Amino acid sequence: MSPLLRRSHPLLACVAAALFGALAPAALAQAPVRPDGDGFVEVVVPTAPQSVTLRLTSDQPANVATTRTVALTQGRNRLRFDWSRERLDEGSLRFEVAPANATASVVQREKIHRRGGMVYFDVEAASDGPATLTTRYLLGGIGWRVAYTGMLDAAGATLALVGTVEVTNRSGQDLADARIVFDGGELPALSLAQGERREVELFRVEGVPLQRRYRFDPARYGATPAIEIEVENRVGTPLSRPFLPAGRIRLLAPQADGQPGLIGEDVLPATPLNAAAKLYVGHARDLVVERTVVAQGNENERRDRWNKVVAYDQRTKLAFKLRNGGNTPATLLLVERPGAPFEVVGASHAANKSALDTVEVEVVLPPGGTVDASLEWLRRNLW
């Protein structure tokens, strides 16, 4: 900077200095193409790439692709990259060079250990000219998570669903207008400096149909009926997303005063297109189940020479008293797990053996009504 300018216009000098400081790294990065004693020219590759794409997956580091334009000279060029700040997996580095109007090949890549994070690529160029460099590598420290918020309508029949994604950058690299691609979504241009995190809305859909069920499963949900909500991600419905990544979902419903109230949270499992997700959001207040073991005893005992029981059958009978305190009919699924092996020998309602150790009984409860149900099973050949 000229001393005259510094003396006469101190403010202008400061601005000029700041501007120079900002532009200098990019300018200097490209400029020095200096002959080297080893017979190649060294090109210091600009630190900031022209475009960055990050492909995020749920359980792997981010796969990064960056492009830069550099000026190559005819012959051997040594391109120097400085990745000393980034949490970069050097074993994953891949490199492509595409000159604008000539050919070039990557001869070799070199790592000089005493120079830390510097990586060198030797490129043989057929002629002088600009070239596009694409580097791909795995980058640690990029975190992302998806969260959903669902608002039930007054009737509890449909859901307004909002999906958001939060990206955290602890990679050591500042991201400027980076394209972020992940399973089920994309952010076209995200700027995120090291140490920053940003939450962005992904989608917002209204009128997603849902199914509400009640399950009485003492082994899984305890002594009161649980609420199970099923949401379908299906073609032809409002929610027709290619993929819904797993994430926390918060369900809200309008309260008596019209204001939304939290009815529960769960983790929405990873749900591809044409699949359904089941959510457990809490327990029903208006449904009451009284479960009684009416009888349980052993029979058909087989004994050894010393009169010790070596095999037996076991019979169990349960009785249920079910009450619906609400003003709408409810379908309650009673789930019992007798253990394997077992067979159902009697039931007041249709019983379905859903797994080797599980039986389910579906009971329809009228509004304000009470229903008695019973279930009996036999486990043969126990010891």
Which residues lie near another protein (CB under 8 A)? 38, 53, 55, 57, 60-61, 63, 65, 91-92, 94, 106-114, 136, 138, 181, 186, 243, 270, 272-275, 302-306, 310-311, 340-341, 343, 353-357, 380-381, 383
Q: How far is the CB of 125 from another protein (least distance, A)?
A: 17
The whole-angstrom separation of Cα 189 and Cα 241 is: 21
Q: How far is the CB of 106 from another protein (least distance, A)?
A: 7
Please say which residue, 110 or 196, places its beta carbon nearer to another protein.
Answer: 110
Strands 41-44 and 75-82 come out as parallel
**For the chain, how big is the Rg over CA atoms in Å?**
34
The whole-angstrom separation of Cα 250 and Cα 119 is: 46
Strands 158-169 and 197-216 come out as antiparallel
CA-closest candidate to residue 180, choices 77, 267, 68, 55 = 55
Please say which residue, 168 or 358, places its beta carbon nearer to another protein.
Answer: 358
Please say which residue, 1 or 310, places its beta carbon nearer to another protein.
Answer: 310
Q: How far is the CB of 94 from another protein (least distance, A)?
A: 6
Please say which residue, 49 or 61, places its beta carbon nearer to another protein.
Answer: 61
- Which residues face 119 on adjacent strands? 81, 111
Q: What angle do CA 368, 323, 367 make, to 5 degrees?
A: 25
Show the tokens assigned to 44.
């210091």
Please say which residue, 203 or 243, places its beta carbon nearer to another protein.
Answer: 243
Task: Name the one residue in this structure whose structure tokens are 């990206």.
Answer: 167
Please say which residue, 136 or 250, places its beta carbon nearer to another protein.
Answer: 136
Q: How far is the CB of 181 from another protein (least distance, A)?
A: 5
The whole-angstrom separation of Cα 187 and Cα 27 is: 29
Q: How far is the CB of 103 from another protein (least distance, A)?
A: 15
Please say which residue, 250 or 380, places its beta carbon nearer to another protein.
Answer: 380
CA-closest candidate to residue 278, choices 329, 354, 331, 211 = 211
Q: How far is the CB of 51 from another protein (least distance, A)?
A: 12
Q: How far is the CB of 124 from another protein (least distance, A)?
A: 11
CA-closest candidate to residue 128, choices 196, 167, 206, 73 = 73
